[in-house]
Amino acid sequence: MKVGVVSLLQVLVLVLGLCVRSSSLASFGDQQRNRRKSVLPTEASSSLVLNRVGSSIAFPVHGNVYPIGFYNVTLNIGQPSKPYFLDPDTGSDLTWLQCDAPCVHCTEALHPLYRPNNNLVPCNDPLCKSLHPTGDHKCETPGQCDYEIQYADGGSSLGVLVKDAFSLNFTNGIQLKPHLALGCGYDQISGPSPHPFDGVLGLGKGKSSIGSQLSRQGLVRHVIGHCLSSRGGGYLFFGDDIYDSSRTLVIHVSEHYSPGFAELMFGGKTTGIKNLLIIFDSGSSYTYLNSQAYGALMPLVKREAEKSLKQALDDRTLPFCWRGRRPFKSLQDVRKYFKTLALSFTNGGKSKIQFELPPEAYLIISSKGNVCLGILNGTEAGQTVDIIGDISMQDKMVIFDNEKQLIGWMAANCDRLPKSKAVRI
């Protein structure tokens, strides 16, 4: 989930065994039992329709790193189906919507609050158990699964787990409405830089993520990918039939979406900074390095930039901005003043794989026409790992293969929704 420039990778998911806000939950259960339940394909029948034929699901992505500061995808959920704007976040698992349960605290949203059907997930459901810390699953309210998610920037969502129909268009032309679990969030706290949204699309590796649920129903393989355009927008997909894996660099992934430790390069030369634990996080607009790496990089960037540019101390868009003789209109105007960065990974101890960051993958042009550095001091922001955010994943297809435990990336045209397996590069 993107809230300003703070990564939401560090997610603590706790399922509340206690009957928190019991009066609200009791009224929620009573309301849901009185709702009418529509007839839709069951998990078994959905699985029989496709049975892993290799089809995928693709969604347009809207937004940008700057000036909007976040992305969203539209999912149609419910009975009847209604559109909701969700914040795609590879740093968390649970998908949730702000919910009229009734809502104790809800933040600004762009659509009416989600109204669930008679579809509470019980506490003994394996999905509910997956939301608990190990060995901490208690069922004092057996008929429902309570959850609480706390994000690194202080934001949170409290609610109950429900199941509802997701209207999904597959790339082979089939439309299905599988029942998937999501959070009905009736008590939300915003982070320091809130933006209007209906909820969060959890794209992590856990059992409660939408990708994992779709895979268990046999509808797609547990592969997630996105392609963010530097011109704004892009696309997100579930499944593995819209990219050519033979043209994708791959590296084994550890916990979270991390290809492991990297060496930081600047202009093709080492900075001397090694063993950076890198995590890919679509929930962060910008890229974060720890204070040691940030401190080593900044003098190199400033030395290059200030050969021709002057620091714009009056521009508070980001911590470091520079001005030219006249306002810049695009990143193409400033590429010559900066060098390419790279993160060099060792793939299984046998070969080096580089994730390159050309100037346009770590710079923005501010509203004042200055160029600003989109790499931030993660230690100051409270981050404990080094994060590749959206700015550095632009104009690349980034693929998270949870079946093979691999991450891949390749340069791609992110402006058009893919239609077939062969992605045109």
* DSSP reduced 3-state for 265: strand
Cα(295)–Cα(312) distance, integer angstroms? 19
| Topology agreement, domain 57-238 and domain 245-411 | yes
- CATH 3.90.180.10 for domain 245-411: no
pTM: 0.85
Name the residue ranges covered by the structural domains of the chain. 57-238, 245-411
- CA 291/CA 282 separation, integer angstroms: 21
Q: Is 187 a catalytic residue?
A: no
What is the second-level CATH architecture of the domain 57-238?
Beta Barrel (2.40)
Dihedral in degrees, nearest 10, Cα atoms 28, 72, 61, 277 = -110
Instruction: Name the active-site residue from 87, 89, 164, 241.
Output: 89
Alpha carbon distances (Å) from 71 to 3, 67, 144, 313, 366: 10, 11, 32, 29, 18
**Residues 281, 315, 390, 395: which is the catalytic one?**
281
- Angle at Cα 247 formed by Cα 243 and Cα 248, nearest 5°? 75
> Is 198 among the residues known to form the active site?
no
Query: Which amino acid would we find at residue 136?
Result: D
Question: Is 371 strand, coil or helix?
Answer: strand
Q: Residue 22, class by beta-carbon neighbours within 10 Å (0-12 exposed, 13-18 middle, 19+ buried)?
A: exposed
Q: What is the pLDDT along the chain (425 residues), one digit of tens a residue?
A: 443 433 333 333 333 333 333 334 434 444 433 333 333 344 444 444 444 445 899 999 999 999 999 999 999 999 999 999 999 999 899 999 999 988 999 988 889 999 998 799 999 999 999 987 776 778 888 899 999 998 877 789 999 999 999 999 998 889 999 999 999 999 998 876 677 899 999 999 999 999 999 999 999 999 999 999 999 999 999 998 888 777 777 787 777 899 989 999 999 999 999 999 999 999 899 999 999 999 999 999 999 999 999 999 999 999 999 999 999 999 999 999 999 999 999 876 667 899 999 999 999 999 999 999 999 999 998 888 899 999 999 999 999 999 989 999 999 999 988 765 534 33
C-alpha–C-alpha distance, residues 352 and 345, integer Å: 6
